[in-house]
Structure 1
Amino acid sequence: MITRRNTLALLGAASAGALLPSLGLAQQAIDLSPEQPGRPRAQRDEAAVKLIGKDTKFVKEGVFTVANATGRLPFAGYTADAKTIVGSEPDIAQLVADALGRKLEIVPVSWADWPLGVASGKYDAAISNITVTEQRKEKFDFSTYRKDLLGFYVKKDNEIQIREPRDIAGLKVIVGSGTNQEQILLRWNEQNVKDGLKPAEVQYYDDDVVLYLALETGRADAYLGPNALLSFKAAQENKTRLAGNFSGGWPVLAEIAVTTRKGAGLAEAITHAINTQIGNGNYAKALGRWNLASEAIEQSHTNPPGLPAK
């Protein structure tokens, strides 16, 4: 996990303003300064404000209080001052807060703490790479803002493309043990065997340095992992590239959403606010500056179908 301390070591070069390639958008700088001059800001959205429930109670007057499991860029991490939180999630939170006419306060929390904090009213919302699931919808409302994607990443000069199970037949593929992506990869292998194709050789590494060395030297052909994290690393280091991606809930669509307490009266307002930002271009800027353009959605929805419990 990226903490206050090792964020600086990992991203020192980026904080100097190095130009990094972005998927789907023109090359632009990754800004890790505390000032964040490039962070998109929104105007107050009166239509969204009117959708806030009459009985809605915010944690603080005039403030939108957001819980975030800070520690993983591009989602959220600390700048050189070791206290300012930046990333794609703070950018989305800022747009929503602006649209609702409120100041933004981000509260760093552990992943395990946001559900109770939101459900109890300690936080107005959680914006922390939270996937919509049917089980979570029993306690929370959701306003979607990003696709939940997995990505196959390969050595930069490797020309393979991976779009469907047959594309991994016979390849050597790295995946994390016990992860959702491992289960999907194994299902792809099962399908290929049924179709008379060679299964992929599945590789596991505990050390990221050894993992990327395997890609560099050809001991592995591809690495399957969370697209957002691998995209950011590819943009930083310019050694790997995206060969193909698909839903993290494959074959079911998975989406990331702003999470609020069920019945709090905020979800419809937040969904409207996000759609306004999609329409005016601020949303694309917010994702693009963190190399997440490939995960953009065309429209935000309130409480869409989520991943099934099983």
Structure 2
Amino acid sequence: MLSYTGGLVLIAALLHASWNAMLHGNRDRFLSMTWMSIAIATVSTLVVACVPPPARAAWPYIVASGLVHIVYNVSLVRSYRRNDLAHAYPIARGSSPLLVTLGAAFFAHEAIGPLHALGIALISGGILAIALQGSHVSRAGALAALTTGATIALYTVIDGIGVRLSDGQALAYTAWMFLFYWLMPLLFVVSRGSAALWTPMRTAPMAVGSSLAGGLVSIGAYGIVIWAMQSGAMGAVSALRETSVVFAVLIGRVLLREEVSGKRWLACVVVAAGAVCLGL
């Protein structure tokens, strides 16, 4: 992977950890995810009105990814109800790079060199070591986080193939896929009613505002990843993105005041070493 592309993916990793920390820090995560989705879908609606559509071959992947992303959003909310950020986030993110690598090899016939394979293994192993330290993760919590990881791997492979069929229209591909986020407010209203969605604008404007900002950050974070997968190996891009776990541990420690052990810091070093391998 080119250093320029790798640097952008690392920026995406920081952005990704930031919006996940925001989501985890909000008391009502379903509401927060819904307002994030409204911001994402609104921006995407504006973008699709201004750019040419992607190639026809990409459309099945856009639809499939959009639907899987909705499942991912719901699964992520469930995962954060059961775990600390420093546990749920690493399990969800750490389980995906190896799955992405396998999926890319099987569906896209993508090969990967020994050094990049080592980097992916170090990142995944380090991330899972971060997640599995201590006794804070229940079986139900781990299952919820692993389910989230499976959806991450699924939409990553779908998008990696789809964006390569978009005739170079990564921006249009991303925007059309994110239009499916309009389904999140629909799900929320069906579940809780419209008053539960709109009342917080008056009673908790700061929470709504932070969620809208998180949605904008999320667009940038994943938009960079989709752009990178046009030319970079899906497994390598996915693994480098998941170095966001290191940022999540730092955010969890500094802002959310979560406990971080020496062993967890050591695992972060392993993740960083894997990122170096991917950058070589």
TM-score (norm 1): 0.22
Q: Which has the higher strand share?
A: 1
The one of the two structures with greater contact order (alpha-carbon pairs below 8 A, sep at least 6) is 2
TM-score (norm 2): 0.24
